[in-house]
Structure formats: C-alpha cells, structure tokens
Chains A and B, each alone.
Chain A
Amino acid sequence: MSAVLAEATEPDEPRPLLRVAGLARRFSLPRTSLFGPRPELTAVADVSFDLAAGETLAVVGESGCGKSTVGNLVLNLLSPSAGSIRFDGEDLASADDTRWRDRRRDLQLIFQDSRSALDPRLTVEAQVAEGLEIHKVATAADRKIMVAAMLEAVGLGGDLARRYPHELSGGQQQRAVIARALVLEPKLVVCDEPVAALDVSVQAQVVNLLRDLQRNLGLAYLFISHDLSLVRHVADRVAVMYLGRFVEVAECRDLFAAPAHPYARALIGAVPAARSRRGRLVRPLRLEGEPPSPMNPPSGCPLHPRCPFATDLCRTELPALRPRADGRSVACHHAEASQADGLEAQGGSDASQPLKVFP
C-alpha cells in the first residue's frame, strides 16, 4: 500500500520498466606475477538508471568504455559484481531458472554482427519461428501467422522468408535478426550497435524500421551506439559513459544543445560540422591523449589527465553523478564552467557558423 502511495506522490514518473541501481562488473585477469593477486578490471562501476516502457535510452561512449557490458548485464548474460537490476519490479539476478526463462521473452537483444547471429542452416522463416517454439507460444497454426506478420512488418515477406541467411544482403540479415527478436513481443530490446555494420544508405532503412516497430509495439530500447547523430535521432534520453561510469545523463535534446560534462562536449564537438544543418552545436573541446586502460584507471575523476578543466580537486576526488535542477545528472566538479565555455561561439575556428541557441 505504501508503495502505491509513494508512486502516487510522483504522478509524472511512471513506475520504470527497468530499474538499475549501483550496477558494477569487474573481470579478473591472468596473473602478472607468479604468486601475486589476480589483477582486476572494472568494466562497469556504479551505474544506475531507470528506463520507462516505450522509452529509448541511448548509452554512448568510445570502444572499451563498458557500454556493451551494461547491455550484457541487463540481459543477464553476465552476472553483476554489485548492484541490482529490477525488471518490471522483479529482481532478475535472484530469479530461478524457470522464472528467468519465462522472463527471457520480454528481454531481447539485437547486436551488430547479424551474420553470426543467424543460424546458417535455417531459413529466415524457421529462425523467426524458433523462439516461439522454444517458449511454446500459441498453436502451430497461430505461430505461422505470427511469423508471417512479423516478417511482413520488417520487409522480409513473400519469397525472402524462405531464403537462407547467406542469400540475404547485410541489411536484410539485420531485418531477420530484428524479426526474430521482436516476434516474441518483448518489452525491452537491447540494441548493441544495431546498424554499425551496415552501409549508410541501408542504415537509415533499419533505423526507420526500429522506430516504427517501437511505436507499434510499445517497446523500450536500450540503445548502445558510438554514432552520435544516430543517437540524436532515436533516443529520448542519453547516458554518456567514460571508463565504466555514467558521466552525464540527460534528455537527448538538452544534451546535444549544451553538454555539461567535458567528455560529452568533446564527443559532440568531434562530430563534423557538416553533420548538423546549422554548423557546430558546441565549441569543440580537444581532449589530450587517449582513453586510459581500465586496468589502471586514473585517481579521482577518470577524465582528469585529458581534461583542460581539471584542477587538484579532480585529481583526488571522484565526482559523483549528481542530479541538477535542469533535470540532468552530471558527474563533474567543473560542469558549469565547461558548459558555459562550450556555448561561447566567439573565438572558435567556426566563428562564422551561427550558434544554435536553444530555448
């Protein structure tokens, strides 16, 4: 009863479909000395977020930042070292096998390499039907109808349905993967770089498909990508990840208009000016060097060795991901300075380009 009351006090915030709290994952590595302890690598540290039904949360960051690990943890393909994942109010890590297998239907994955995701010996039709058979959904006759409808929806109807994966183009293979994931009518789909392997002209087809299906089926997406213009297009909210941690979580529009964390600004500023209609959105921020190895992360704020705003405080104290008044959460000691600096159009190399001012 009290839970209901608690929810009632926050009418704007529906109960999340997915609630992740304090999630962490460490990997132990081979010993470096004969008798020393095994070194550990922290791939994901203290990650918390909510995802509502029908919502898209994008996780962006560079290779090795831990974004795919977050996806695997949510899908329970990896077990967390700490933290909890509640799906529809249920703790999945503690669910027993049968319960978990049951819930498996609601959580699906679409990842980059569609060729390896498909069984080369099964036709597209058979691949899509397989999930329904495993979960014993409906009668055989109904299953047939469901498969046909799903394949039609992803544009693989008719003759294409009876082909084998190698007879399809890359875009069509990815459509087959999508059909196989969505025919089970999941509530949440983890999309791990779903179009990165496709050609530009085909990417747009698949992105449109993903959005249409989301609208029609009420899906929630956890959308993992390194392509910022894609993220800008599909996401409702964006989490920027660096070295295993969320450094900024914000509404998509707010983030791209005025990123607060220096790393978010560096990412957005690195997108070529031609990728936005009105030139650069923020003044580019050049970071020094390259992301450090997660095996020996820097002290304090993980970005401090590369960050022009870094002070002594950053070198010693890890900034917490704090919610701000404007609705976003930022983990930076100098977010205000960075944000203001990013919006200053004067003096930059793109001074001729008008600054985009958001309301």
Chain B
Amino acid sequence: MSTLLEIRDLTVRIDLPGGPVFPVRDVSLRIGPGETLGLVGESGCGKTLTCLSVMGLFGRRVSVESGEIAFKGTPLDPKSRADRARRARGMGMISQNPMTGLNPVRTLGWQVAEAYRIRTGSSRRAAAARAVELLDLVGIPEPRRRSRDYPHQISGGQQQRAMIAMAIAGEPALLVADEPTTALDVTVQAQIVELLSRLQRDLGMGMLFVTHDLGLVAEVADRVAVMYAGRVVEMAPAAELFARPRHPYTQGLLTSLPFLDDEVERLSPIDGTVPSLRAMPRGCAFAPRCPHASEICRTAVPDLSGAVACHHPLAVRTEAA
C-alpha cells in the first residue's frame, strides 16, 4: 500500500517554565490513501498534539524534538513556507469545538470562501459561489441564505458542518479530525459521522480520526492506534483490537466501560491515574497501574515491535469482568 502520511519517531517538546516536557514520544503512524486511522486515548495522552504536529500547527514553546512527518513521500519541514502551503492544500482539519473554531465576526460564506481562496487562489466571486456549493455538500439547508449567517446564528451541528466545509474546501488528500463529535448531541453525532464517511468515500480522503470514544472508533476506523502517556502502545485493525486486545491498557479501557447488554455488579477499572508529564516512570509508563507488571517493565521502555508495546502482551482475550 502506498503511503499518504507517515510519521516516524515523532517526539514533541513543550518548553515550560519548569523545564521541557515531552508529551509525544517516539510516535510512528502511517495512513494510506482513503484509509482511516483511529487514534484513541484519554485526555493528555498526546493525541491532539500529534494532530497539530501533522498540521504543522506549533504554538509558542512547542517544537519537534526529533522524528519527521512525511506527506505523500516527501518530508515536511515545519519552518518552510513552501511546505506550509503544501500542507494547507493537501490537508484539512476539523477540531473539537465548532463554536470556537469559527470566527465569530465573519459570515459562514466568508469563512468557507476564504478557506477555498487561500488554497486555490481563485477569484473572490468564484470562491463565494464555491462556498455555497460546499455548504450544500455538507448538508446545510438553504446554503445561499445560511452563507450570510454568522456562527452564533446556527446550531452546533450546523457549525460543525460548516467547519467540515472549510476543511474540505481544498479537496484535501488527508482529513485530520480531532474529536469531531465530542461537543455534539448524541443524535447529531451520528449525522456528522455519517457525513464524514460519505465525504471520505466521495473525495477519496485518508483520515486521521482522533477520539476518546472506543465505541465510535470501532465504527469509523480501519486501523486503530491506542496512545498512553505520549506513546502508541498498541496498533491493530479495528475489529482485531476489540476482539483481542493485547496491551493491558487497551484491555483495561475496554473492560472499564460498561456494555449496554451486560449485567455486571462491578466494573473493572484501571487502578490509579495517568502519570504526570513531569513524573514519567522510567520504564513502561503503564507499569504502575498494570496487574502484569514485572521488574523489566519498571526499567525498560517496551518498543512497538509488531503491534503492541508491552513486555507481557496478552496472548488471548482474558475473560473480562
């Protein structure tokens, strides 16, 4: 399979007053054309920062410490102006909260047209016409009228549709979706997921789909990477991951969620809490919470050889709770 996006050993550094921290460590991911890679993990595991690194959106104090990101086979230089333009044309991003992702003083039409014009260099008039088409494409009713509305005048679901219209304005080869449905109501979430799948199929986009919702990622993704404390701990085809989790953390996540049709007295939570960036354990970051941890886990970081970064991967699915 040819590669659309390849992340190799990415380590991201944030310079804080108390010294640098590394919220993303040695992350390697690969997405093929038209493929959806799910990236799951709890808050603070580094999944959003991975997205931002792919998009080249480094804020103040954030930088790539090591590793590289290649798009369509060519590495991207975060500082290069030409690569910035290449990114913008080839990738689109949807973020979690559409209300804050849209500019409050500009109309929807203006914002979608702007997204199109910057990427294609088309005329103002052509961009305005295209904006209406794009709003129509993402399922906003009466797109011509809505294009004159401001973000606060439309509902959360419509706002997210407008964000999607902006993201796909340049017909990107890769769509980066960072928790695109988390801020939405359940019945609206399903509509947005459906829209994303349809657009992905029609436009042949690869997608990096980031979420904390394991159930959702099972429906959307072809392959899933599980992140914990800045590292990818397990990578597997979606069905495989849910049927036979191999990392104790993945298994813990699955069993700590109640199933809709399970009658259990108690859930099986993972003990303890996520370690802080300042106090990362020396060996495997999950060792302090892991029931299978041994001496080697506390001293050596397991690498992601094969599909699971664990010294004692689970052979078969143990009986869950």
Question: Interface residues, chain A, CB within 8 Å of chain B?
Answer: 62-63, 169-172, 199-205, 207-208, 211, 226, 228-230, 232-233, 253, 256, 266-268, 270-278, 281, 284, 286-287, 289-291, 356
| Any A CB within 8 A of the CB of B261 | yes
Say yes or no: is B191 at the interface (Cβ < 8 Å to chain A): yes
**Lowest 6 A-B CB distances belong to which pairs?**
A272-B215, A204-B269, A274-B218, A233-B258, A204-B256, A276-B260
Nearest chain A CB to B307 CB, angstrom units = 19
State the CA gap A287–B257 with chains docked (Å). 26
Instruction: Please determine whether A208 and B267 come into contact, CB atoms closer than 8 angstroms.
Output: yes
Q: With A204-B268, A208-B267, A286-B191 known to touch, is A274 a contact of B256 (CB < 8 Å)?
A: no
Question: Does B156 count as interface, using CB distance less than 8 angstroms?
Answer: yes
Name the one of A202, A226, A253 contacting B186, with C-beta atoms under 8 angstroms.
A226
Interface residues of B in 265-295 (CB under 8 A from A): 265-271, 273-274
A293 to B267, CA, bound (A): 37
Is B202 interfacial (CB-CB < 8 Å)?
no
Query: Cβ of A230: which chain B residues have Cβ within 8 Å of it?
Result: 258
Bound together, the chains give a CA A290 to CA B187 distance in angstroms of 8
Knowing A201-B42, A201-B256, A203-B256, the reply to whether A63 touches B185 (Cβ < 8 A) is yes
User: Which of A208, A253, A272 lies in contact with B216, CB distance below 8 A?
Assistant: A272
Interface string of B248-265 (1 = CB under 8 A from A): 000011001111111111
**Alpha-carbon gap, A200 to B264, bound state (A):** 17
Question: With A and B bound together, what is the CA distance between A341 and B113 in angstroms?
Answer: 43
Residue of B nearest to A169 (CB): B273
Binary interface encoding of chain B residues 157-189 relative to chain A, with 1 for a CB under 8 A from any of its CBs, else 0:
110000000000000000000000000011111
B161 → chain A closest CB, angstroms: 11
Residue B214 CB within 8 A of the other chain: yes
A204-B269, A284-B190 known; A272+B219 contact, CB < 8 A: yes
Q: Find chain A residues with CB under 8 A from B253 CB.
A: 200-201
A266 and B187 within 8 A (CB): yes
Contact (A287, B260) CB under 8 Å given A204-B268, A272-B213, A273-B219: no
A291 touches B215 (CB 8 A): no
Q: Please tell me if the beta carbons of B185 and A276 are within 8 angstroms of each other in the complex.
A: no
CB distance from B256 to the nearest CB of A (A): 4
Complex contacts, A287 vs chain B, CB 8 Å: 187
Chain B residue, CB-CB nearest to A62? B185
Q: How far is the CB of A322 from chain B (nearest CB, A)?
A: 24
> Which of A169, A170, A172, A270: most chain B CB closer than 10 A?
A270
Give every chain A residue within 8 A of B158 (Cβ-Cβ): 290
**B43 beta carbon closer than 8 Å to chain A:** yes
Quick one: closest B residue to A306, CB to CB? B187
Known contacts A271-B215, A290-B155: A62-B260 contact under CB 8 Å: no
Q: Complex formed: what's the CA distance from A202 to B252 in Å?
A: 11
Whole-angstrom distance between the Cβ of B5 and the nearest chain A Cβ:
25
Which residues of A lie under 8 Å from residue B262 when comparing CB positions? 233, 276-277
Chain A residues with CB under 8 Å of B110's CB are: none
On chain B, the residues within 8 Å of A202 by CB distance are 269-270, 273
Q: Does B130 contact A (CB under 8 A)?
A: no
14 contacts between A and B (CB under 8 A): A172-B273, A199-B43, A200-B212, A200-B257, A201-B42, A226-B186, A229-B257, A229-B260, A253-B263, A268-B260, A274-B214, A275-B257, A275-B260, A287-B187
Residues of A within 8 A of B213 (CB): 272
Nearest-Cβ distance from residue B149 to partner chain A, whole angstroms: 15
Chain A residue at minimum C-beta to C-beta distance from B214: A274
* Most B-side CB within 10 Å, residue of A211, A228, A233, A277: A233
Q: Is B58 an interface residue (CB 8 A)?
A: no
Is there an interface contact between A62 and B186, defined as CB atoms closer than 8 Å?
yes
Bound complex: CA of A290 vs CA of B192, how far in Å?
11
> Which of the listed residues B259, B261, B268 has the most CB atoms from chain A within 10 Å of its own CB?
B261
Give CA–CA (A170, B268) in the complex, Å. 19
A145 to B175, CA, bound (A): 57
Q: A200-B212, A205-B269 are in contact. Are A256 and B261 (CB under 8 A)?
A: yes
What are the residues of chain A within 8 A of B265 when measuring CB–CB? 211
Q: Which of B260, B264, B268, B273 contacts A256 (CB 8 A)?
A: B260
Besides A266-B187, A290-B188, 4 other A-B contacts (C-beta < 8 A): A200-B214, A207-B258, A275-B215, A290-B157
Which of chain A's residues have a CB closer than 8 A to the CB of B188?
290
Closest B residue by C-beta to A60: B186
Residue of B nearest to A271 (CB): B260
Question: Is B242 in the interface zone, CB < 8 Å from A?
Answer: yes
Q: How far is the CA of A275 from the CA of B158 in the complex (A)?
A: 27
Instruction: Give the contacting residue for A270; candidates B189, B212, B268, B271; CB below 8 A.
Output: B189
* Given A201-B42, A267-B187, A272-B218, A290 contacting B261 (CB threshold 8 A): no
Chain A residue contacts of B268, Cβ below 8 A? 204
Q: Determine the chain A residues whose CB is within 8 A of the CB of B270 once the complex forms.
A: 201-202, 204
CB-CB under 8 A from B242, the residues of chain A are 274
Whether the pair A232, B266 counts as a contact (CB closer than 8 A) is no
| Chain A residue contacts of B267, Cβ below 8 A | 204, 207-208, 233
